[in-house]
Structures are given as structure tokens and as C-alpha cells.
């Protein structure tokens, strides 16, 4: 999630845009693997907006044939608007964030990904100065090493958000950039997919950032950040970090327990402290969050063979440590109320399991940790 790259960090009557005049509706197959609210829905106001946008795009050098192709099958996605308007203000603690970002699974997959692409990553590191472990960690956090790049058509997502208007100018710029990517031949519009906000590929570039920083590492004439081969995406990410001021050979930072000689931060009160460097600041340019930058740095260290953080985190508002929360999840699951894993993070799956447990006991269904719940589960 780069501030100017992801600032939140993202019709069934589709428009087959004719060479001139109004668009005509076309029939198309629904994308596979998407929630129903992320499929195009009829919206005459959106159709009218696209007609007007077409003229602005033509005036900025987008060819009519590009518009015809890009909007063939595109449409208004109601679920994108819902997600944009309902972004939670809740922020996880650093402990919870790292439990997800630097999970054992993500570390193991990261080591395997690094080994699989070692030659490419070493070449990129030699050229750019950006550490191969850092690049692997960014890849891991952004798309789980390419497994979760997003399935939402970027033209539909960005046009929906441009039409919706809350950040209309921003998303119209992203839509225009996406059209230029199609026009340049980097990827067909139907294959350009990403997150609900339009972030794309292995390392989740917004279209404008793709235009500025993507590179053709493989030399095939295309800057392909979506393919099974992550080389172009990793090289583009290194290019971004290098141009943001990455210093070759400088660590991102480290956990400290005593006095330190540089800048020290403590994102969670009572938790571990970190001495950070200018490269930490560069990682924050990719995503303006201390937790994200620590997640990238710590995941990179773990991929390189380092161990877990040494410093403890304080108990949560319920007086529970992570070990307590893991025991609670394990006991709920053992009783038949599956929490879908035991990581110590109280998320939607655990809340659903708690509600099911409460219902089975004839209790109000709160989905929340309470003294009564802890007593009933013995944690």
C-alpha cells in the first residue's frame, strides 16, 4: 500500500464504446472468483459518466480503439464503492499486525520464493542496490508471493471510483494511466486485474506508479507485473525503492533493548523498540506506515534466517497475552467452533466462532472476548 500509489491501501449493461456516439450494451461472461457485489451492475448514471469521460480521454491521446477494447465488458462495481466508503478506522496493534505479516507460513514461503528466484533477485540487487530479502518481503506482504494479486478488472474498478466521486480526480488519473498501459501493449485490458482500488500485480502498483517505475527486466518488450514470472514486478519495485533514496548495504533497522545511537521508535506502547535507518524511511515511501515498514524489515530478516522478536508485547485490553489468545482459539476449535487457525489475532473468524459458542450456551451473541468467555474456556 505507496502514498500516491495507494492512498487507502484497493454495469451489467457494459459499454462497448463505438468509434463515435454513445456506447452500446454488450453481453459478456462474469469474471470468475469474485463476490457478487464485485460483478458489474446496471447504472445509467455511470454509463453517462463514461460517455463524457471518453471525450476527455480522446483529448489526452487515448485512441478510440483502446477505449473500445478497454470498456468492452467493463462496468460499475457496487462492491468497490462499498469497500471505499467503509474502510475501517481500526488499526491493529503491531503485535497483531506482525502475527499476520510475519507468520510462520509467510516466512517459509518467502524462503522458498527467494531460493526459487535467487538468480533474478541477486541480479536486481547488484543493479539497484536494494537487498534481495527486502524485495522478497515486499512481495510477500503485497501479494503473498503472487498468490493474491487480486481478480478485479482495473478498468472497472478505477472507472467506478472515478465516477463515484469521493476521490474522483485521483481515480480518473489512475484510469487514464491504466488506459495508456493497455494502449502501450503491456497487457490486454481483460487481463489487467488487481485490488478493489486498482493496485496491480505481484507488488501492487497503482497504474500511475506502474507508468513511472515499471521496467522490462526480462527484455520481452513488455513490463509484465502480472505474469507467473515475478521478475518485472520485482525489478520495478527495486527501481521504485532505489529512486526513493535506498542506500546500498544499509539495514532497515533492528530491534533494540537498551540504549541506541540512532532514531528509535516504539509503535506499540510497552512493546519492542526499533532503531531505524534512512532505508526504513524509504520503505515507508512504499506504504506510509511504521507497522508496514517494520513488517517488511522483520520479514526480510526472518527470510534471511533471523529469529523472532525478543521483546515481549504487553497484554491486550482484556488482560490477555498472545499466548492466551492462541489457547482460546485452540479451545474453541477443539469444542467444534472453528477459528480457522490459531494465530492469537482476534479477527472475523474468531469472532464468528465466539458467537457460535455463545449461542450454544444460550448467551447473548457478542462475538467479543469477555471475562465470562475466558472463564468458560478456562483461559
Is the pLDDT at 10 greater than 70? The verdict is: no
Query: Residue 350 belongs to what domain range?
Result: 322-377
In a domain, residue 75? The reply is yes
In a domain, residue 248? The reply is no
Closest CA to 155 of 124, 184, 176, 131: 176
In a domain, residue 295? The reply is no
Same domain, 24 and 169: yes
Burial class, 261, CB count within 10 angstroms (exposed 0-12 / middle 13-18 / buried 19+): exposed
In a domain, residue 149? The reply is no
Residue 196: predicted pLDDT: 95
Q: What is the per-residue pLDDT across 292-350, written as a single tens digit (0 to 9) for each?
A: 999 999 999 999 999 999 999 999 988 999 999 999 999 999 999 999 999 999 989 99
pTM, 2 dp? 0.86
For residue 242, how far is the Cα from the chain centroid? 21
Check which CATH number belongs to the domain holding 196 and give it.
Answer: 1.10.8.350
Q: C-alpha angle with apex 273: 267 to 274, nearest 5 degrees? A: 95
Phi, psi (deg, nearest 5) at residue 261: -100, -5
In a domain, residue 170? The reply is yes
In a domain, residue 247? The reply is no
What's the number of domains the chain is made of?
Answer: 2
Same domain, 33 and 164: yes
In a domain, residue 298? The reply is no
Same domain, 342 and 194: no
Cross-strand partners of 253: 276
Burial class, 342, CB count within 10 angstroms (exposed 0-12 / middle 13-18 / buried 19+): middle
In a domain, residue 62? The reply is yes
d(CA 350, CA 160): 33
Same domain, 335 and 198: no
State mean pLDDT over 196-224: 96
Q: C-alpha angle with apex 67: 76 to 2, nearest 5 degrees? A: 65
Q: What is the per-residue pLDDT across 162-182, written as a single tens digit (0 to 9) for each?
A: 999 889 999 999 999 999 999
Amino acid at each position: 500500500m505507496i502514498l500516491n500509489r495507494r492512498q487507502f491501501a484497493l454495469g451489467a449493461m457494459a459499454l462497448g464504446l463505438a468509434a463515435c456516439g454513445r456506447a452500446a450494451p454488450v453481453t459478456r461472461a462474469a469474471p470468475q472468483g469474485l463476490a457478487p457485489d464485485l460483478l458489474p451492475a446496471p447504472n445509467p448514471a455511470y454509463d453517462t459518466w463514461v460517455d463524457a469521460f471518453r471525450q476527455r480521454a480522446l483529448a489526452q491521446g487515448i485512441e478510440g480503439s483502446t477505449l473500445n477494447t478497454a470498456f468492452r465488458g467493463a462496468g460499475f462495481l457496487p462492491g468497490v464503492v462499498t469497500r471505499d466508503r467503509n474502510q475501517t478506522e481500526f488499526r491493529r496493534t503491531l503485535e497483531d499486525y506482525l502475527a499476520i505479516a510475519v507468520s510462520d507460513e509467510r516466512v517459509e514461503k518467502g524462503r522458498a520464493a527467494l531460493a526459487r528466484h535467487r538468480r533474478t533477485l541477486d541480479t536486481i540487487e547488484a543493479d539497484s542496490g536494494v537487498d534481495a530479502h527486502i524485495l522478497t518481503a515486499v512481495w510477500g506482504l503485497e501479494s503473498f508471493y503472487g498468490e493474491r494479486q487480486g481478480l478485479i478488472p482495473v478498468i472497472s474498478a478505477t472507472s467506478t471510483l472515478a465516477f463515484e466521486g469521493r476521490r474522483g480526480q485521483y481515480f480518473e488519473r489512475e484510469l487514464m494511466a491504466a488506459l495508456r498501459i493497455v494502449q502501450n501493449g503491456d497487457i490486454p485490458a481483460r487481463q489487467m486485474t488487481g485490488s478493489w482500488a486498482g493496485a496491480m500485480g505481484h507488488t501492487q502498483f497503482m497504474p500511475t506508479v506502474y507508468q513511472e517505475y515499471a521496467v522490462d527486466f526480462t527484455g520481452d518488450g513488455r513490463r509484465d507485473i502480472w505474469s507467473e514470472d515475478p521478475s518485472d514486478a520485482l525489478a520495478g519495485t527495486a527501481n521504485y525503492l532505489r529512486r526513493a533514496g535506498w542506500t546500498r548495504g544499509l539495514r532497515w533497522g533492528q530491534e533494540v533493548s537498551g540504549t541506541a545511537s540512532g532514531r528509535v521508535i516504539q509503535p506499540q506502547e510497552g512493546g519492542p523498540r526499533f532503531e531505524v535507518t534512512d532505508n526504513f524511511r524509504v520503505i515507508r515511501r512504499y506504504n506510509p506506515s511504521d507497522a508496514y515498514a517494520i513488517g517488511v524489515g522483520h520479514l526480510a530478516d526472518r527470510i534471511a534466517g533471523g529469529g523472532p522478536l525478543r521483546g515481549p508485547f504487553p497484554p491486550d485490553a482484556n488482560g490477555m497475552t498472545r499466548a492466551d489468545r492462541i489457547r482460546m482459539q485452540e479451545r474453541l476449535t477443539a469444542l467444534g467452533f472453528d477459528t480457522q487457525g490459531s494465530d492469537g489475532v482476534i479477527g472475523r473468524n474468531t469472532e464468528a466462532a465466539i458467537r457460535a459458542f455463545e449461542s450454544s450456551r444460550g448467551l447473548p451473541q457478542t462475538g467479543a472476548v469477555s471475562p465470562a468467555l475466558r472463564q468458560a474456556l478456562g483461559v
